[in-house]
Amino acid sequence: MMNDDIEKVVYSEEQLQAKVAELGRQITEDYKDAKEEIYCVGILKGAVTFYTDLVRQIDLPVHFDFMIASSYGNGTSTTGSVKILKDLDYDIEGKHLIIIEDIIDSGTTMNYLMKYFRERKPKSVKLCSLLSKPSRRTVDVDIDYCGFEVPDEFLVGYGLDYAEVYRNLPYIGVLKPEIYA
């Protein structure tokens, strides 16, 4: 049923799991000698699938936290204004912070959040995004751990949605234009 709305599969479930495992190994290696606590912050809702798979691949103790921030409202393009709908539950001062996001598109939300987090004086702030869509970038964002660079197509699945639907697909695919037109 939902599969009928997909024009093509971009990343299979197997490709996603392989990339997540690779990112987890890289993060583990980079933080293996860290003395300070590591806080993994998932940006809800889109990153939840990637987040849960990724943190299970990090072979170090990590604290979980989540944030909800949006610059999209109910549309398909950014409003340019970022709203924080749920803030962190824990103090991150002096901690290593890894922000986990599903996709960096315009960069508006993440640029805002990176500044917001740095003001809270963590030991370090790193960004891990499953996907990056540089052709849509309007604001510079440095991604420390990036899964895949993707073209300007409307992607859904593995946490990515259209109107809160398709997040539960186990792969990432291109949504047929007639669905969102």
Cα–Cα nearest to 23, from 87, 98, 77? 98
Q: Which amino acid is at 41?
A: V
Distance CA 166, CA 175 (A): 9
Cα–Cα nearest to 11, from 135, 158, 164? 158
Going edge to edge, which strands form the sheet with 172-175?
6-11, 172-175, 155-156
Which residues participate in catalysis according to the annotation? 105
User: Among the residues of the chain, which ranges form H helices?
Assistant: 13-31, 48-55, 108-118, 177-180
Cα–Cα nearest to 53, from 7, 15, 92? 15
Contact of 97 with 122, CB cutoff 8 Å = yes
Could you tell me how many residues make up the chain?
181
